[in-house]
Amino acid sequence: MNVIWLDSIDSTNEEMKRRLKHQNSLKNFDAIVANFQTNGKGQREAKWESDYGKNVTFSFYFQPNNLYVVDAFKLNQAVSILISDYLKNLGVKGVQIKWPNDIMVNHKKVCGILIENTLLKNELLHSIIGIGLNVNQSTILSSDNSTSISNEMQEFFYIKVVVEELIDYLYKVQNFIDRPVLLNNRYLDLLLGLNEVRKFSIDGKEIFGVIIGINTDGRLRVLIDRKEQLFEQKKIRFLFE
């Protein structure tokens, strides 16, 4: 388990992929950390922006044991629970998971996760788990609905310590994946909006609904007009007041 510290890199996920391809030298649970990402990745087109040295940006290499495509969502669940647990342990209040895998504090995004898997047939060979956690960022980020740990706690944190402690939490990812009942219960406990009437955007329309859980494949179960509907990630969006 090596932690490789880099000063500046386009994206830690990309760097990890390059090292896998050209050196094949990564071991399970290795991590690449950067003080600054010049081309940090959010979800596909989305960019993740961060001031130099103020936040935690790293990628974590994980080789799952017997994790199949049908269960891939467990990876999202396990990683988002572990990050939430770490934040709660730091003393952060109001930590929740916005389905499928954004970590929120008091309804504002504090951490984004970008997981890139390599599949062979129906099994996950390995995963690159990219994590962007706002730590000491005090200025407003490009996305206005975001916050940082420091904003919430009125305290300054040492980035190096946060990274090392967070990686300690992430070592438990396989244990969590192997315990599906615990995984589901913990995920639902942390799920933003569970059993609450909330406003969503569905097909461009504003609709009220109640999240009642998730399906085994990770789809969101929402009660709308007393009928249960299943949503894939791109089909439904939270509308925050």
Partner 1 sequence: MKIEEIQGLIKFVAKSGVNEVELEMDNIKLVIKTGAKEVAPQIIHAAAPMAAAPIVAPAPVATVAAPAPIVENSNYIEIKSPMIGTFYRSATPEKPVFKNVGDDVKPGDVLCIIEAMKLFNEIEAEVSGKIVKVLVDDASPVEYDQPLFLIDPS
Q: Which residues contact partner 1 by CB under 8 A?
A: 41, 43-45, 69-70, 72-73, 75-76, 100-101, 113-122, 125, 204, 217-219, 232-234
Task: Assess contact for 182 and 224: CB atoms under 8 A.
Answer: no
When the beta carbons of 117 and 150 are compared against partner 1, the nearer one is 117
Choose among 241, 216, 238, 239: nearest CA to 230. Answer: 216
Least Å distance, CB 101 to partner 1, is 6
When the beta carbons of 54 and 74 are compared against partner 1, the nearer one is 74
Cα gap 160→166, rounded to integer Å: 10
Least Å distance, CB 78 to partner 1, is 12
Cα gap 171→80, rounded to integer Å: 13
Task: Assess contact for 223 and 210: CB atoms under 8 A.
Answer: yes
When the beta carbons of 13 and 151 are compared against partner 1, the nearer one is 13
Tokens of 164: 């090392």
Tell me, what DSSP letter sits at residue 89?
H
Least Å distance, CB 74 to partner 1, is 10
Least Å distance, CB 193 to partner 1, is 17
Cα gap 116→130, rounded to integer Å: 8
When the beta carbons of 1 and 230 are compared against partner 1, the nearer one is 230
When the beta carbons of 33 and 72 are compared against partner 1, the nearer one is 72
Least Å distance, CB 56 to partner 1, is 19
